[in-house]
A and B are shown apart, each in its own frame.
Chain A
Amino acid sequence: MQLVQQLVNGITIGSFYALVALGYTMVYGVLKLINFAHGDLFMWGAYLGLTAVLALVSAGIAGSPWLIVPIGALVIVAIAMLGVLVERVAYRPLRSAGRLPPIISALGVAFILQSLARNIFGASWRTFPPGIALPGGITLAEGVRLGWMQLIVLAVAGVLMAALYLFVQRTRIGTAMRAVSLDPTVARLMGIDVDRIIAIVFLIGPGLGGIGGLIVGLYYGSFDFTLGWTFGLKAFIAAILGGIGNIPGAMLGGMLLGVVETLASGYISPQWKDVIAYAALILILILRPTGLLGERVGAKV
């Protein structure tokens, strides 16, 4: 029974990694840029959500878990706009500057966002007031418990990932995204507005990151300004593990990393968790350098 509970734990952690990994993988797929600022956009989602919740509480409207729906919508919109702004200011002017300058610019944005959060919201841990996250859960069997919040996390992550996958595979904009991802120059010749497609990618990726931040903040109840760094790093690794640029790969990579980490800390020790998880990662990358679902891209002539 302990195994079942540990799998539940692992999949919950994994779905957080997956949700954040989607943002890395989308941007990489289209721009071949590792957006190191993504983890901190995710952290800003948590802070904006907390600010909105606290504003509602001080206005005397609080206590209903349903309030999280409008707050979630607000966070998605705000972080999506922040994402587009970051792209416009820090990445677009560097797009023709080679591969290294945009990565450094992304790291710069990450540090700026992190320091801003620390200066605005303070360095100590912040806590969501009670009554927003649903308490309690169901006991599936002796020693196997599924919290309501865990169910919500799994449902939200699953729906968002499926919607994103369908959007990219089935819609005109999604098709255009895949075209830009294959070859931006040819896509432009085919009449695709590449700048617009990239802006849309920076709406969706950070928007998903923002809602992820809000859910993580609510689920654990408290966080600080380093939230983006820890989750961002793990999610980035999950994206590579699944095959960066590949959306189902990000989901698979996130889940796998979450479950491996959980089993390692649950059955061996949290002290050995990272050794085991990263040894597995290196092994997978040796066997499949492009990640689990990554495609082997031949050299372009």
Chain B
Amino acid sequence: MHRTRWLAGMAVLAIVAALALLAGCAKEEGAIRIGLQGPMTGDYAYEGDGFQKAVKMLVDQTNAAGGIHGKKVQLVVEDDAGDPTQSALVAQRLVDAGVVAVIGAYNSTATEPASQIYNEAGILHITPSSTAVRLTQKGFPRFFRVCFVDDRQGLFAVRFLKEVMGATRVGILHDNSTYAQGLALEARRAADKQGLEISFYDAINPADKDFTPILTRIGASRLDAVFFTGYHSQAGLLMKQSRELGLPVRWIAGDACNNPIMIEIAGKANAAGNYVVTEPLPKDLDYPEARKFIADYTARYGEAPASTWTLMAGEAFNVIRHALQQTGSTEPKVLAEYLHASLQNLNGLSGPILGFDAKGDRLGTIHVGYRIDENGQFALSQQQPTQ
């Protein structure tokens, strides 16, 4: 009995010592450490994987070209699983790891608690993809985003519904996440202003698999289009199940649905004829920077980046790299001041980055509408609404 206890104690000690050694080895002296947090597991793992691939590639390219002012860049990756609790934990770990700047998180629900922690720690924080309006309304001076905010997306979706789809009986469905609820509210507000009547407004529980109860009610309400503001997995299931119930309703989904997983989940036939409004997909970005990024990515990973957010994660890294190069500083405060005040017309992967406003939001907007065609591909809609 005593002997086994003693052995167990020694084993635990050995493991702790080994872990400490590993942690010690990982730190490279003199390197600029940049953090990446995203959903490497969970519902949004597809996007987290893209984040990691894109940023790793750019970090390797930067280091191969001699680093930034002679210093290597070291990437520290943490998995938040898209979960707000986990997000706060990994944010603290990145702070403890001594990062200068952080790219992430993917979803607004995870970005919100992390932004608080990075703000208190005085770290530069750029989200590639969290579009909820409220994130930049807290007055955090070192928080930025390279994506566009949901009030503009909501307005764009409403115009698309009205001008392109010609919808008259419209519903809005969200999933109670920070992002989806915010986008749904913005869309409803925009619809009021644009004179489009919203006859149905409700939320699903994204942990469910079966949405037939609410779909049956949507069918009975005789809606001709529903704007779903949630994420791609549930969008796929909604499209599939609404066709299986034989509903004539057309779906339009927001920019958390601009990836092929949604079409795979729905099935090509069920997805066809539905719409997505989003920042343009990588394939439709006709800028030399974007084409080079896509070519390098394809050469390295054997497939082109299908999601906009993969490219946007690269965009966030490029903005940080640009600020480091231009200022010659690794002080987050100096970097943030540069982004707020001096950055103008940087040639980005997703088009020119005009600059950032005082809240940290990217100026301008580039939303487009896609129709899913019979082959299960996102086809740029022939007709686009007025911006």
Contact = CB atoms under 8 A, between A and B. Distances in A.
29 contacts: A2-B219, A6-B213, A9-B210, A9-B213, A9-B216, A12-B212, A13-B210, A118-B41, A122-B45, A123-B40, A124-B46, A124-B49, A130-B268, A143-B220, A145-B246, A216-B209, A221-B237, A221-B267, A222-B237, A265-B214, A266-B217, A269-B202, A269-B203, A269-B214, A270-B204, A270-B211, A270-B213, A270-B214, A271-B176
Nearest to A136: B244
A5 B216 contact: yes
Nearest to B219: A143
A265 B220 contact: no
Nearest to A227: B209
A9 B241 CA distance: 11
A147 interface: yes
B299 interface: no
B209 A270 contact: no
A123 B176 CA distance: 23
A224 B237 CA distance: 13
| Range, interface on chain A | 35 or more
A139 interface: yes
Contacts of B212: 9, 12-13, 262
Interface in B260-317: 261, 264-265, 267-269
A118 B133 CA distance: 33
A54 to B, nearest CB: 13
Interface string A134-162: 01010100010101000000000000000
A220 B205 contact: no
Contact of B213 (A137, A143, A266, A271): A266
A219 to B, nearest CB: 9
Interface of B: 40-43, 45-46, 49, 176, 202-205, 207-214, 216-217, 219-220, 233, 236-237, 240, 244-246, 261, 264-265, 267-269
A124 B217 contact: no
Nearest to B173: A270
Nearest to A274: B205
A255 B217 CA distance: 20
Contacts of A216: 209
B176 to A, nearest CB: 7
A273 interface: yes
Contacts of A127: 264-265
Nearest to B265: A222
A14 B219 CA distance: 22
Contacts of B208: 230, 270
B96 to A, nearest CB: 25
B45 A220 contact: no
Nearest to A127: B264
Contacts of A270: 202-205, 208, 211, 213-214
Chain A contact residues: helix, strand, loop or mixed: helix
Contacts of A5: 216, 219, 245
B105 to A, nearest CB: 16
Contact of A266 (B216, B237, B268): B216
B278 to A, nearest CB: 19
Interface in A227-265: 227, 230, 261-263, 265
A165 B176 CA distance: 42
A139 B246 contact: yes
Contact of B43 (A139, A224, A263, A269): A224
Interface in A255-301: 261-263, 265-267, 269-271, 273-274
A214 B198 CA distance: 39
Contacts of B49: 124
Contacts of A122: 45
Interface in A1-33: 2, 5-6, 9-10, 12-13
Contact of B264 (A9, A12, A222, A223): A222
Contacts of A269: 202-203, 214
A162 B203 CA distance: 37
Interface string A103-147: 000000000000000100011110100100001010100010101
Nearest to A119: B41
- Among A124, A139, A223, A224, the one with the most B-chain Cβ atoms within 10 Å of its Cβ is A124
Contacts of A230: 207-209
B207 A222 contact: no
B233 A125 contact: yes
Contacts of B237: 220-222
B46 A221 contact: no
Nearest to A125: B233
Contacts of B216: 2, 5-6, 9, 266
A286 B268 CA distance: 48
Given A2-B219, A118-B41, 17 more contacts: A13-B210, A123-B45, A124-B46, A130-B268, A135-B269, A137-B244, A221-B265, A224-B43, A230-B208, A263-B213, A265-B213, A265-B214, A266-B217, A269-B202, A269-B203, A270-B205, A270-B214
